Structure 1
Amino acid sequence: MNPLLRYIQGYPEHILTPVTQMIESGRFTTWFEKRYPTNHDIKSEKALFEYTMAIKNRYMKKTAPLSKVIYDSKIHLINNALGLHTYVAKVHGGKIKSKNEIRIASIFKNAPEPLLRMLVVHELAHIKEKEHDKAFYQLCCHMEPDYHQLELDARLFMIYQEINKKK
């Protein structure tokens, strides 16, 4: 198996076959760039926090607050994750202070905006739904109707990045 396909491992054959054919024929990069001609301009962590809060305030006003949203260069190295949500609870005196943090793989600093949005939606959904179950995906689709397609496209973006790294 082509090592690039590890990002879409587990997808059905009707998705794997055309992607494999495009990679082998050298058409994948052109196809991806036509599909996503521009990247977002959310480069700073302040801009990323504001972007995330706008989505959170639109769809999840009553959930726990976010204390931090950052790009993290170490994420991709951990379990091939694209983003992480962490919840930290600390006892201060007699009170419990909790913090929700979202970390987005820094490779998505230079990605198409819909793919960044999908990752932010995914991590925001974890504030309310901890497991990747039906309720979790329903919440993701509520915030982003094209969630499932964008999740696949984010994996295709990883393939695109690796192909371009070799050039």
Structure 2
Amino acid sequence: MRPRTAPDYLAGYPPALAAQVRDLIGQDRLAELLLRKYPQAHGVRTDKALYDYVQDIKGGYLRNAGQLSKVAFDSKLQVIQHALGTHTRVSRVQGGKLKAKCEIRVATVFRDMPEAFLRMIVVHELAHIREREHDKAFYQLCCHMEPDYHQLEFDVRAYLCHLDATGHPLWSAAA
């Protein structure tokens, strides 16, 4: 069995920017910058609270997008699929009707992050309800729901690099 390599969270960014993040981690300054910008973790702890949180955002921007059948934190996401969130659509025939289910799963690593990071991943997965591909329309929808989407995505990726390098989370449920 081949050893797993850690994902390069900054692969799509300019090499100079990725090097700057790695330098900040090496100097032990990235944690301080992130904590100053995002001082505390959010209070969404349960799957029910996450469902309500997602429904609030969905209700504000995607009212006509159909019902979500399940929203949950998933501890297997990051390990198995190298994903931070997933959205699935399942259609089945039940009797003479076509039933569709839409689910959103969020990696449990987001349980102990700031609300802005949770919002970014939720917005990303909700945008997939309308736009399946990561194209221009997808990112326009993300920015419509969260104007700071691109900065938040970069900050999440920088934090994940910190977490991989140090193994020390910055926020916790007790914070």
Deviations 1:30-75 (A, max 9, x none): 2221121111010011110000000000000011110110000000
Counterpart for residue 90 of structure 2: 88
Aligned residue type for 2:127: A
Do the aligned residues in 1 keep the contact of 2:25 with 2:162 (CA within 8 Å)?
A: no
Deviation at 1:163, TM superposition (A): 4.1
Counterpart for residue 46 of structure 2: 44
Alignment of structure 1 residues 68-107 onto 2, 5 Å? 68-107=70-109
Percent of aligned positions that are identical: 48
Tell me, in whole angstroms, the C-alpha distance in 2 between the residues paired with 1:129 and 1:164: 35
Deviation at 1:134, TM superposition (A): 0.8
Tell me, in whole angstroms, the C-alpha distance in 1 between the residues paired with 2:111 and 2:168: 19
Alignment of structure 1 residues 20-31 onto 2, 5 Å? 20-31=22-33
In the superposition, the TM-score normalised over structure 1's length comes to 0.92
Do the aligned residues in 1 keep the contact of 2:7 with 2:82 (CA within 8 Å)?
A: no
Counterpart for residue 144 of structure 2: 142
Do the aligned residues in 2 keep the contact of 1:38 with 1:112 (CA within 8 Å)?
A: yes
Counterpart for residue 130 of structure 2: 128
Aligned residue type for 1:60: L
Aligned residue type for 1:110: D
Long gaps (5+) in structure 1: none
Deviation at 1:4, TM superposition (A): 7.2
Q: Does 1:154 align with 2:156?
A: yes
Please give the root-mean-square deviation of Cα atoms over the aligned residues, in Å: 1.8
Deviation at 1:166, TM superposition (A): 5.6
In the superposition, the TM-score normalised over structure 2's length comes to 0.88
Deviation at 1:162, TM superposition (A): 2.9
| Matched residue SS, 1:62 | coil
| Matched residue SS, 1:50 | helix
Do the aligned residues in 2 keep the contact of 1:32 with 1:160 (CA within 8 Å)?
A: no
| Matched residue SS, 2:63 | coil
Deviation at 1:15, TM superposition (A): 1.6
Deviations 1:92-137 (A, max 9, x none): 0110100100000001000010010010000001111111111111
Tell me, in whole angstroms, the C-alpha distance in 2 between the residues paired with 1:47 and 1:164: 30
4+ aligned runs moved over 4 Å, structure 1:
none
- In the alignment of these two chains, the number of paired residues is 165
